[in-house]
Amino acid sequence: MIIREPADRFAHSVAEFQRVLGRAEILEASSAIICRAHQQLELIRGEVNYSDLKGITKDLALASFFRDCRKDYKRAYQLVESAIRSITGDHDIWGRVDDLPESKETLQVKLEIWRFVKNDSIGLPPVSLDGGQWISAIRQSLGELLTKLGFKDIPSLGNKIRKTGLDDNQLGLPLFEAHKLFPPIRQETIHQVKGESIDAVLVLGSVKFWNSVVDAVESGTNSEDRRLAYVAMTRARHLLAIGLPASHFDKHADKWERWGFEVLGR
């Protein structure tokens, strides 16, 4: 079935999906919301409040986000190391790290940064902290890390890590404010559910993605987007719902109905 989605955060599609799960007597815990990309996943999981931060501060906030929301520790590490290099400039330590990648000093530097990234209590602060709290916490914890790594005469972190870009309201909000509308239902990207069989699936994607899928089907082209849509849809064992953004639905709903989809909530 297809659902016309008028909102950016797919709240209507999720509500309709929950309703049809109840009618079909399928457990939410046996279902999944599958998104084309992390962008849709983030929209349904919560609201980003740090996007207007600047420079190093934004990179560090993004590191917290990658670790906490995407479980992408590698990317978080890369962002933190890059931020430290920007703060410390052409320090002798980096010359030795780059020239001697297998040295004891290099391994120790990387280990300390890794520990910082992994530890959200005394290291990289969690993205769930309010903006003001997060700024204070990252200044303190990063300063302690720089001392531990052996950096001296570092400019004040108050000048490097600033709240510029966060208004007074945002300073009192979590950097990432999670929505808890449907905690029992898994939320994954297409790549994360390859090979699985799931009782009920709601597939979400952007207007661009679904337009590409429809164009490929109509022209008989085996495109990447069509292949991904096929992978997502064939995860469903008993029930398949597609949340289509309103502008796509209004233009292409007749094609979906021709392919055998029922319009849900009409």
As a whole number, mean pLDDT of residues 135-160 equals: 90
CA angle 183, 184, 189 (to 5 degrees): 80
- Give the C-alpha distances (Å, rounded to integers) separating 71 from 64, 77, 124: 10, 11, 14
Q: Is the pLDDT of residue 180 over 70?
A: no
Q: Is the pLDDT of residue 262 over 60?
A: yes
User: Which of residues 42 and 98 earns the better pLDDT score?
Assistant: 98
Q: Which pLDDT band holds residue 183 (cuts at 50, 70, 90)?
A: low
Helix (H, G, I), strand (E, B) or coil at 42: helix
The residues spanned by each domain of the chain are: 2-46+181-258, 50-174
CA–CA distance, 68 with 50 (Å, rounded to integer): 14
User: Whats the size of the chain, residue-wise?
Assistant: 266
The fold adopted by the segment(s) 2-46+181-258 is Rossmann fold (3.40.50)
